[in-house]
């Protein structure tokens, strides 16, 4: 056996393989996974997003945003006083828009003075808030400080029912469901949660059952109240509480109707719907009537665009009962990776969404939460996806243009490369998909969101006290060449 010969053969093979790798590397793409348009066939994505991508995004020139960014770099945002209060100027880079949360902050201030009053928040999101993640921690922070018990509004059916810890939901399989994610013309208008449900199985019982969870301030179902819509026929519902059964009538006379299950707090109940096939059912609300309440309206695959399809009259009817003070829009996960870094089409679409919210909930403060960091593999290394920052900036632009508050979740969690750190650290705070937070990470994000909102509130209280002390607000300043003055009602759709 010639050992020396085998050695040279092995060396030659290794050398040829190395040379071949160097050659192929020159023609391989920098990004291992394609940036082309995703095949959405097996992905739950809202229909309006897919249409917008097809019609607008790929036809836009990538260079068009760079000029806007050059202009934004020198802009100084100067706020006009509202109710005699004016927050300090900001730049585009550090924009938070506390000025536009003044009405929300004033309600918190009044709640601190009078603990019997209440404040309500609607938190709209995608899979990031699935299972009440993030939202339950925002809720607990507010209820810890300002009081309040209950998980708020809960849908009849949710994809995350099995994984949600703040309330347990079981339901029969024969509910007919219509969602604003994929239905443009529902049988009856969508509810505030973006869904409408029908118990239209006449041969089998259609039911839903709730049980209080174990999270803090949500260990009971407080003042359980059913919300349902308008129909031509009455129906019935049996509420089973322990060994007792309460038979009640559904009278669908108004756009939105309510029916209290029982007063006070209970641990669980079951609702059987009888001869109610034509009545739109929306869900149940659980709150004790004082303090802060936060509703989680999460929907996997949502971009936020479907909110623009809300029926403003129906939403106003919901608001008559629920009385919202802040609406949070937390989207972005499903908007990335569509073969473009120009999100002007999304910016335009979300301006319509905010306009619909303002029409539906007059006077409400609005907060935009940007996309978080997301990692993708480039040259065999996980790095921040190249579309994250362009999308975040587009979200900041429509927040500014619509006079909304803004949370830059991307920078709040650490900025470039932060998702890799959250996944790799021990214990991990994000999942191996490098997109979603685990429960530990969601809690951290919820705390960060609350901290930014609370910082604005503390600043508001200082400015308010100065006003009360008789300090006059600064006069409205003229717009300078290197600044932008943001005026009330200056954004028109």
Do residues 229 and 188 lie in contact, with contact meaning Cβ atoms separated by under 8 Å?
A: yes
Domain edges within the chain: 31-148+289-493, 152-288
Q: First vs last Cα of the chain: how many Å apart?
A: 85
Q: Flag whether pLDDT at 38 surpasses 80.
A: no
Q: Which residue blocks in 361-387 are alpha helix, DSSP H? A: none
Query: In the structure, what pLDDT confidence band is assigned to residue 314 with cuts at 50, 70 and 90?
Result: very high
Residue 96's SS3 state is coil
pTM of the full structure: 0.85
Q: What is the pLDDT of residues 263-302, one digit of tens each?
A: 999 999 999 999 999 999 999 999 999 999 999 999 999 9
Q: What is the pLDDT of residues 384-407, one digit of tens each?
A: 999 999 999 999 999 999 999 999
Question: What pLDDT is stored for residue 75 in this prediction?
Answer: 79
User: Which pLDDT does position 460 carry in this prediction?
Assistant: 98
Return the CATH class of domain 31-148+289-493. alpha beta
Predicted confidence at residue 261, as pLDDT, reads: 97
Q: What pLDDT score does 472 carry?
A: 57
- Residue showing tokens 């053969």: 9
What lies within 8 Å, CB to CB, of 415 at 6+ separation is: 373
> What is 246-267 written as a DSSP string?
EEEEE---SSEEEEES-SSEES
Smallest CA-to-CA distance from 404 within 482, 329, 319 is with 329
At 87, list the tokens. 């927050």
Q: Strand, helix or coil at 80?
A: coil
pLDDT digits (tens, 9 = 90+) for 4-20: 555 556 555 555 555 54
* Radius of gyration for the chain, computed over Cα atoms and rounded to the nearest angstrom: 26
Predicted local distance difference test score (pLDDT) of residue 54: 60
Q: Which architecture characterizes domain 152-288 according to CATH?
A: Sandwich (2.60)
How far apart (Å, rounded) are the C-alpha atoms in residues 129 and 136? 9
Q: Closest by alpha carbon to 124, among 355, 330, 357?
A: 330
């Amino acid at each position: 056996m010639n050992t020396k010969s085998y050695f040279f053969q092995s060396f030659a093979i290794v050398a040829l393989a190395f040379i071949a790798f160097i050659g192929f590397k020159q023609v391989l793409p920098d990004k291992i996974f394609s940036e082309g348009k995703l095949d959405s066939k097996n992905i739950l994505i809202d229909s309006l997003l897919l249409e917008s991508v097809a019609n607008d995004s790929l036809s836009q020139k990538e260079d068009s945003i760079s000029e806007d960014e050059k202009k934004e770099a020198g802009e100084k945002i100067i706020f006009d006083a509202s109710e005699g209060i004016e927050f300090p100027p900001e730049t585009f880079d550090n924009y938070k828009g506390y000025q536009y949360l003044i009405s929300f902050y004033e309600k918190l201030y009044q709640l601190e003075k009078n603990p019997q009053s209440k404040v309500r928040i609607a938190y709209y999101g995608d899979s990031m808030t699935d299972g009440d993640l993030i939202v339950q921690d925002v809720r607990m922070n507010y209820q810890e400080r300002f009081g309040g018990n209950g998980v708020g509004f809960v849908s009849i059916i949710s994809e995350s029912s099995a994984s949600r810890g703040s309330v347990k939901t079981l339901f029969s399989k024969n509910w007919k469901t219509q969602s604003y994610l994929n239905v443009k013309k529902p049988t009856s208008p969508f509810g505030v949660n973006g869904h409408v449900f029908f118990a239209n199985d006449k041969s089998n019982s259609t039911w839903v059952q709730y049980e209080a969870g174990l999270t803090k301030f949500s260990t009971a179902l407080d003042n359980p109240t059913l919300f349902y819509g308008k129909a031509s026929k009455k129906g019935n519902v049996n509420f089973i509480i322990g060994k007792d059964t309460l038979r009640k009538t559904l009278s669908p006379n108004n756009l939105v109707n309510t029916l209290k299950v029982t007063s006070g707090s209970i641990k669980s109940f079951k609702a059987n719907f009888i001869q109610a096939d034509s009545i739109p059912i929306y869900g149940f609300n659980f709150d004790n009537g004082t303090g802060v309440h936060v509703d989680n309206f999460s929907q996997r695959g949502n971009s936020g665009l479907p909110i623009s399809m809300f029926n403003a009259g129906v939403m106003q009817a919901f608001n008559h009962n629920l009385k919202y003070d802040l609406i949070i829009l937390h989207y972005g996960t499903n908007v990335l990776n569509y073969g473009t870094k120009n999100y002007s089409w999304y910016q335009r679409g979300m301006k319509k969404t905010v306009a619909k919210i303002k029409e539906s909930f007059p006077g409400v403060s609005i907060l935009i939460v940007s996309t978080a960091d997301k990692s993708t593999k480039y040259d065999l290394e996980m790095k921040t996806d190249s579309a994250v920052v362009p999308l975040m900036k587009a979200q900041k632009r429509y927040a500014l243009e619509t006079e909304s508050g803004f949370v830059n979740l991307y920078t709040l969690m650490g900025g470039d490369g932060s998702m890799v750190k959250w996944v790799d650290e021990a214990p991990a705070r994000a999942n191996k998909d490098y997109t979603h937070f685990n429960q530990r990470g969601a809690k951290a994000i919820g705390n960060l969101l609350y901290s930014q909102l609370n910082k604005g509130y503390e600043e508001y209280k200082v400015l308010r006290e100065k006003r009360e002390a008789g300090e006059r607000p600064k006069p409205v300043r003229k717009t300078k060449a290197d600044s932008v003055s943001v005026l009330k009602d200056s954004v028109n759709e």
